[in-house]
Amino acid sequence: MSTPSAPATTAAAIAAGVRDGSLKAADIVEQHLAAIATREPEIHAFNLVLADEARAAAAQIDQRVAAGEDPGPLAGVTVALKDNMCTRGIPTTCSSKILEGWRPPYDATVVSTLRDAGAIVVGKTNLDEFAMGSSTENSAFGPTRNPHDTSRVPGGSSGGSAASVAAGFSQVSFGSDTGGSIRQPAALCGVVGVKPTYGYVSRYGLIAFASSLDQIGPFTNSVEDAALMLDVIGGHDPLDSTSIPQAHPSLRDAMQQDVAGLRIGRITDLPEGADPDVVERLEVAFDTLRAAGAKIVDVQVPAFTFGLTAYYLIAPAEASSNLARYDGVRYGMRVEAADTNAMYGATRAAGFGDEVKRRIMLGTYALSAGYYDAYYGKALKVRRLISDDFDRAYQHADVLLTPTSPSVAFQFGAKGDNPLAMYLCDTYTIPSNLSGQPGMSVPFGTGAHGLPVGVQVLAGTLQEPTMFRVAAALEAAATKERGLQNGGVR
């Protein structure tokens, strides 16, 4: 078992250094490219490393600094992008054969925003095909390995992005979270991962899995960096009708406030199934926050337990529609056949992997005439119930604390043949996608095999400021705890 490279510093510190000339963006990029050169063959975090582009971007930023220009708030910060975000002229595959070789003619809004802010894209990261999975084993281009233990999965679907930060390949990275695809791999890789309120960040250019659930968010080494990233990429985008039409308060400012007096909710009817080591860490988290002056309150979210079932009707239903466009007519793979219908079938049979096909079939069935009311229609009602239950809970608690993942990182193949076991990985993360509310995973010590454990902080709609205050308190406690374990040496 090898250890991941410790973060040298934070994105905030790098940007400050590059902006004042004390650091060179070129040096930052070389450090990360060196880390990639050393460990990427073993980890496989990337579908594509953009070394030349990153070097050119760094040179440009250093020139701007030299010329006295403002290089942006993220100057010199290296980022890795999940390979389901469109990058102009750069292959974007969703880790699927059906999109292999496709080069989007446009940048996702998040991508252009990051570039405009001075961030440097070092590569496109691996994912479960079309973001469907919890281990990154469903990639058509091979799995990503967990930097903490390469015999184990990094989680998914944004496994490549989580591994990139954990392995020091990039300072930060971005993923998308439809049912836990940022938070769960963040927990398994020991980094911070945030799924903001639905509509907080533009989805324009994010290749859709389930449009009403998908949301982009950051992976970082620190809570403050995550706040910084959301402060940069959050906000209304006229190209995304579902993006919230209002400005967001600075999370970097908000997180400075302590947690004294905050009400931390413990969900008494939370679905069981989390491993003892994970449950133990959650208890430590409650104790920590209580010690910091927060109040622990018991709440009930009865519909939480139905989240998984509702999700596996709603998400596949939307996916069956979103993925219908991959028909071989205009772009991506085409398998020639006798007529158009046969070409569709041959192309999609060859282009999609098993999990994607499984969900397309599930979703198509759930929406079909005669079955809609029993499946998709009922799932929508459950979704409503979950939102109502959360809203009631948030009248009594400012945030809720749960495990992020029921277990630490598992071995490759452990759940590969059992889709249901894999789906259970997202038990604790899915409900907040259904309610559209924010959630984040904060690394909080280690569990079995010395592997990272994440604690999930959930909050009400647009309550990111409170969520980040709690996350910062947990981070501080975890850092202190680690220091004590290391004999006071960090």
Partner 1 sequence: MSQYDGLPGDWQLVVGLEVHVELATATKLFSASPNRFGDEPNTNIDPVTLGLPGALPVLNEQAVELAMRIGAALNCTIQACTFHRKNYFYPDMPKAYQISQYDQPLNVDGYLDLPNGVRVGIERAHMEEDAGKSTHVGGSGGRVHGATYSLIDLNRAGVPLVEIVSRPDIHSADDARAYVNELRGILVAIDASDAKMEEGSMRVDANVSVHKPGTPLGTRCEIKNVNSVRSIGRAIEYEARRQIDLIEGGDVVRQQTRHWDEGDGRTHTLRSKEDADDYRYFLEPDLVPLAPSAEWIAKVKAALPMLPAARRARLADATGQAANSEAVTIVVDRGQDDYVLAIAAAGGDAARGLVYVKEAFADSPKVAAADVAVLTQMEVSGAITATQAKTVLAELVAKGGGDAAAIAAAHGFEAIDTSAVEAFVDEAIATDPDAWQKFCSGDAKAMGALVGLVMKASKGKADGKAVSASLQQRRSDHG
Would you tell me which residues interact with partner 1 (CB under 8 A)?
85-86, 92, 94, 99, 102, 104-106, 108, 203-208, 210-212, 238-242, 317-318, 320-321, 324-325, 327, 329-331, 340-341, 344, 364, 367-369, 372, 376
Minimum distance of partner 1 from residue 245's CB (angstroms): 10
Minimum distance of partner 1 from residue 475's CB (angstroms): 33
Q: Which is nearer to partner 1, 16 or 335 (CB)?
A: 335
Q: Which is nearer to partner 1, 56 or 329 (CB)?
A: 329
Minimum distance of partner 1 from residue 94's CB (angstroms): 8
- 170, 173, 181, 441: the catalytic one is 181
Q: Which is nearer to partner 1, 199 or 403 (CB)?
A: 199
Between the CA atoms of 131, 133, 139 and 145, what dihedral angle is there, to the nearest 10 degrees? 110
Minimum distance of partner 1 from residue 83's CB (angstroms): 11
Q: Which is nearer to partner 1, 320 or 446 (CB)?
A: 320
Which residue in this structure is represented by tokens 């004390």? 22
Q: Is 2 a catalytic residue?
A: no
| Per-residue buried b or exposed e for 383-401, using 16+ beta carbons within 10 Å of the residue's own CB | bebbbebbeebbeebbbbb
Q: Which is nearer to partner 1, 40 or 237 (CB)?
A: 237
Minimum distance of partner 1 from residue 332's CB (angstroms): 9
Minimum distance of partner 1 from residue 485's CB (angstroms): 44
Q: Is 158 a catalytic residue?
A: no
Q: Which is nearer to partner 1, 114 or 408 (CB)?
A: 114
Q: Which is nearer to partner 1, 346 or 414 (CB)?
A: 346
Minimum distance of partner 1 from residue 198's CB (angstroms): 10
Minimum distance of partner 1 from residue 139's CB (angstroms): 17
- 134, 157, 158, 173: the catalytic one is 157
Between the CA atoms of 187, 459, 172 and 332, what dihedral angle is there, to the nearest 10 degrees? 90
Q: Which is nearer to partner 1, 238 or 413 (CB)?
A: 238
Work out the number of other CB atoms within 10 angstroms of the CB of residue 106. 14
Minimum distance of partner 1 from residue 419's CB (angstroms): 23
- 82, 124, 195, 415: the catalytic one is 82
443 Cβ contact list (under 8 Å, min separation 6): 186, 187, 190, 191, 192, 452, 453, 454, 475, 478
Q: Is 157 a catalytic residue?
A: yes
Q: Kindly list the catalytic residues.
A: 82, 157, 181
